[in-house]
Structure 1
């Protein structure tokens, strides 16, 4: 019987980076659920509110690069769990400021300790110079990926304009 080769896409840089990020996300999600009973979306939203507070929901969504409706559902779950409060904005009945409650601040502190522990465990397999090199290379990959996205948007917008004409 012939030896099976792995699919060609597994050699692609984008696949390697993406599958590594997926593995990191899966392990983080399992640990956050097990230790803190929160999802990664809730972790990110709590961290953003903590950093930006008081903040409007649309600003959290924009900073997260996520859909406002999705962030709204996450925030509603955090409000119902007592981690976040909504305070009406004077002069704008449609908006509210989001802020962490004391329980939310305590939760964020615990989450941060867990995230620091995960980071320590991840870095334990590397020398400090290797970590610096990896971070530098990842920044370069991100820069190229961002440029590819801009190029694709430009092409998509150019094609849309050409079709409309």
Structure 2
């Protein structure tokens, strides 16, 4: 009974579940593990390059890039966009402000709301960082055929939607 409930909750097709039941899968065989591992390797290589060339961490790079793409963000908006929690985002922003790369000013929304923007120096740092990011992206794209790239991007969209569905289902159980 519990298996049927789990299949219903997670929307796992019984045919697909039965088809994989005979497999001796390890964590290394899980799609989520392999995607996470590839993403981790890509992030780690980016972090090393960005630290060497521009003296910024990966979290700082992402914050700078998000503020370049969407100026005047609040801390909460930035946390949501970056995928970090508010405390982590606050630490990154505080570091960037101390280094003169980000400015904080009162929001027209009032109260204690603030807007975060890149400083002039932050914009210059962004220009160098985005060029390095584009070079890396080009190298990753060049490693795949056009067909492989198309399939990968479509698959990532599908996996993202599926993961969001799992998150929504878990939220129904009171988890965030």
- Same fold, TM exceeding 0.5? yes
CA positional deviation for 1:10: 1.1
1:94 to 105, 112, 115: 112
Gaps in structure 2 of 5+ consecutive residues: 1-23
Distance 1:108 1:152 in 2: 37
Q: Compare the two structures and name the one with the higher strand fraction.
A: 1
Residue 94 of structure 1: SS of its match in structure 2?
A: coil
Corresponding residue of 1:71: 89
Q: Mean alpha-carbon deviation: is it higher for 71-80 or for 50-59?
A: 50-59
Q: After the TM superposition, which parts of structure 1 deviate over 6 Å for at least 4 consecutive aligned residues?
A: none
Corresponding residue of 2:153: 135
- Cα deviation digits, residues 46-94 of structure 1 (max 9, x gap): 1121222122222212322322222111111111111111122357352
Distance 1:27 1:50 in 2: 22
- Residue 63 of structure 2 is aligned to residue 11 of structure 1: no
- Cα deviation digits, residues 100-119 of structure 1 (max 9, x gap): 11111111111110000001
How large is the Cα RMSD of the aligned pairs? 2.1
- Cα deviation digits, residues 122-155 of structure 1 (max 9, x gap): 122211121111111111111112212222222x
Gaps in structure 1 of 5+ consecutive residues: 1-5, 159-165
Distance 1:142 1:133 in 2: 14
- Residue 33 of structure 2 is aligned to residue 33 of structure 1: no
The count of aligned residue pairs is 152
CA positional deviation for 1:29: 1.0
TM-score, L = length of structure 1: 0.83
2:174 to 143, 157, 160: 157
TM-score, L = length of structure 2: 0.78
Distance 2:47 2:32 in 1: 22
